[in-house]
């Protein structure tokens, strides 16, 4: 049986599964993927055009993918301002980054308006350094934001960083106050409920096995087929198996451990806020506390998938979980004795530049995709849903015409070169980061190879990965 995240296990039972698709059906818009991206897209389409007949096809249950497994860190794209400016120019780059901030406020308002208790807490994003080598990882971004007149990252005193994180292992950091944290499965399942209330038809346990790319498109499933005027592919890492997107994405894992509830221990070390925290490693560590006093601690980038196939080790991997726990113990020696109760993992659809890519599959107007969230999709998926809704409704607006939409992201080499190369680079990154964590200088060859790691949350120049 599939290994579920703690978040999803805690949330399931909220509603019966929606029935699989049986027989032939039709829709104005068929969305493949019932995660945050697919559900926000469905909701935005219905809000704009209630008469539009929207169907979501989900191979598992809504939230069974990354959306119900992630760390729940709701981040803006300020940290990616450099890449946004490269892609869209200064004005549009700032507009998109600001829209990602606005999305966090809209997320909170949406949850309130629709009675979704997603445990939303706005504590900001603390981007920290936990080794000397990580110091100043944010400098170029802070400088750029100043130049752009958008000083969104506040430099904190080192003592303040150690105080807020509850651990003196944190040497320095900057704060993006716009960020928040959520229980991600509650959010995703809440969106599912709202989508159904708006009249979206959802078929769970319905895997799309074939996409006929003609117009109207036909999506085949094990027990049926649906013909649709427009198709939105919101299939995250699974999209890497499509021939058109194969070289646009590298699929890696992100692994999470979750401790027992220990609110008194967290209070003792002063970790009482709701900051979403990360270090500045290439294989990033990201962590936060939950309202119940658990610690969620995750690490991105360990497992690598071949040809978009996601084996069971993308649900859970005990060996990797032990490595994640060792890193948690290193960063929080003062939480010794607090037990780890759960672990799980999930896939990350990392694009070359670390931002999502929106476009038309094979240039077909009616086949739209939004993938490549690169481990930063919880907040941005709301914005992504807006962009995909504009594309699906063929509206000409600031979203569909933005230079952000298009195919400018770089490409990876095809498998098996990509798979082999990714392992070589990953091994070098691991050796380099182990050396830094032990206070040693890494071998120059490892540092050189690590430079080939693709960008994640943060532009490549700052050498960071993603959640």
Ligand X SMILES: Cc1cc2nc3c(=O)[nH]c(=O)nc-3n(C[C@H](O)[C@H](O)[C@H](O)COP(=O)(O)OP(=O)(O)OC[C@H]3O[C@@H](n4cnc5c(N)ncnc54)[C@H](O)[C@@H]3O)c2cc1C
- SS3 assignment, position 178: coil
354 binds ligand X (CB under 6 A): no
For 295, residues 6+ apart whose C-beta sits below 8 A from its C-beta are 258, 259, 262, 266, 287, 288, 289, 328, 332, 335, 338
251 binds ligand X (CB under 6 A): no
Q: Which of these ranges, 79-87, 264-272, 344-352, 396-404, lies near ligand X under the rule CB under 6 A?
A: 344-352
Q: Which of these ranges, 140-148, 233-241, 318-326, 408-416, lies near ligand X under the rule CB under 6 A?
A: 233-241
351 binds ligand X (CB under 6 A): no
The residue within the footprint of ligand X, chosen from 73, 119, 176, 343 (CB under 6 A), is: 73
* Two tokens, residue 4: 């579920």
Residue given tokens 């978009």 in the structure block: 308
33 binds ligand X (CB under 6 A): yes
38 binds ligand X (CB under 6 A): yes
Q: Which of these ranges, 34-42, 96-104, 109-117, 243-251, lies near ligand X under the rule CB under 6 A?
A: 34-42
Which of 209, 420 has the CB closer to ligand X? 209
Which of 248, 446 has the CB closer to ligand X? 248
35 binds ligand X (CB under 6 A): yes
Strand partners, 236: none
Residue count of the chain: 467
The residue within the footprint of ligand X, chosen from 123, 308, 347, 454 (CB under 6 A), is: 347
For 101, residues 6+ apart whose C-beta sits below 8 A from its C-beta are 76, 78, 152, 178
376 binds ligand X (CB under 6 A): yes
CB 194, CB 382: distance < 8 Å:
no
Q: What are phi and psi of 249, to 5 degrees?
A: -130, 145
327 binds ligand X (CB under 6 A): no
Separation of alpha carbons 32 and 203, rounded Å: 10
Size of the site for ligand X (CB under 6 A): 43
Pairing of strands 224-233, 249-259: unpaired
166 binds ligand X (CB under 6 A): no
For 39, residues 6+ apart whose C-beta sits below 8 A from its C-beta are 56, 62, 67, 188, 191, 192, 195, 385
For 102, residues 6+ apart whose C-beta sits below 8 A from its C-beta are none
Which of 85, 232 has the CB closer to ligand X? 232
Which of the residues 132 through 161 are near ligand X (CB under 6 A)?
none
Separation of alpha carbons 430 and 450, rounded Å: 9
Which of the residues 52 through 71 are near ligand X (CB under 6 A)?
57-60, 64-67, 69-71
Map residues 285-324 to x or -, x wherever contact with ligand X holds by CB under 6 A. Answer: -x-----------x--------------------------
Which residues in this chain contact ligand X in the complex, by CB under 6 A? Answer: 32-38, 57-60, 64-67, 69-73, 75, 207-208, 234-236, 238, 254, 256, 286, 298, 345-348, 373, 375-379, 381, 467
């Amino acid at each position: 049986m599939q290994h579920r995240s703690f978040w999803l296990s805690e949330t399931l039972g909220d509603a019966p599964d929606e029935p699989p698709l049986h027989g032939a059906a039709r829709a104005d818009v068929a969305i493949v993927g019932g995660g945050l991206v697919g559900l926000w897209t469905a909701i935005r389409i219905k809000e704009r055009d209630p008469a539009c007949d929207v169907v979501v096809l989900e191979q598992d249950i809504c939230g069974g993918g990354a959306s119900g497994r992630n760390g729940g860190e709701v981040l803006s794209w300020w940290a990616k301002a450099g890449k946004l400016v490269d892609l869209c120019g200064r004005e549009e780059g700032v507009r998109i980054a600001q829209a990602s901030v606005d999305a966090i406020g809209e997320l909170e308002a949406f949850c309130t308006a629709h009675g979704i208790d997603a445990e939303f807490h706005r504590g900001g994003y603390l981007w920290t350094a936990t080794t000397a080598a990580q110091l100043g990882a944010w400098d170029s971004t802070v400088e750029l934001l100043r130049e752009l007149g958008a000083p969104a990252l506040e430099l904190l005193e080192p003592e303040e960083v150690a105080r807020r994180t509850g651990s003196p292992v944190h040497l320095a950091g900057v704060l993006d106050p716009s960020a928040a944290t959520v229980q991600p499965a509650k959010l995703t399942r809440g969106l599912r409920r709202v989508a159904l209330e708006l009249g979206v038809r959802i078929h769970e346990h319905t895997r799309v096995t074939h996409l006929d790319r003609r117009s109207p498109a036909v999506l085949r499933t094990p027990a049926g087929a649906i013909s649709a005027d427009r198709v939105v592919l919101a299939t995250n890492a699974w999209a890497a198996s499509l021939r058109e997107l194969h070289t646009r994405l590298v699929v890696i894992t992100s692994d999470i451990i979750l401790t027992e509830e220990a609110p008194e221990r967290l209070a003792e070390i002063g970790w009482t806020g709701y900051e979403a925290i990360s270090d500045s490693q290439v294989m990033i560590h990201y962590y936060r506390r939950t309202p119940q006093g658990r610690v969620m601690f995750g690490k991105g980038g360990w497992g690598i998938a071949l040809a978009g196939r996601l084996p069971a080790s993308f649900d859970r991997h005990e060996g990797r979980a032990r490595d994640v726990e060792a890193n948690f113990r290193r960063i929080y020696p003062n939480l010794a004795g607090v037990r780890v109760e759960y672990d799980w993992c999930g896939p990350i659809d990392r694009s070359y530049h670390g931002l999502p890519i929106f476009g038309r599959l094979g240039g077909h107007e009616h086949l739209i995709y939004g993938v490549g969230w690169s481990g930063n999709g919880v907040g941005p998926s709301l914005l992504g849903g807006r962009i995909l809704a504009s594309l699906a409704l063929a509206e000409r607006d600031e979203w569909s015409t933005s230079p952000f939409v298009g195919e400018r992201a770089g490409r990876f080499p095809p498998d098996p070169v990509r798979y082999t190369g990714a392992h070589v680079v990953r091994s070098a990154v691991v050796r380099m980061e182990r050396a830094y964590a032990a206070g040693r200088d890494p071998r120059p060859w490892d540092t050189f190879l690590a430079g080939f790691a693709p960008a994640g949350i943060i532009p490549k120049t700052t050498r960071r990965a993603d959640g």
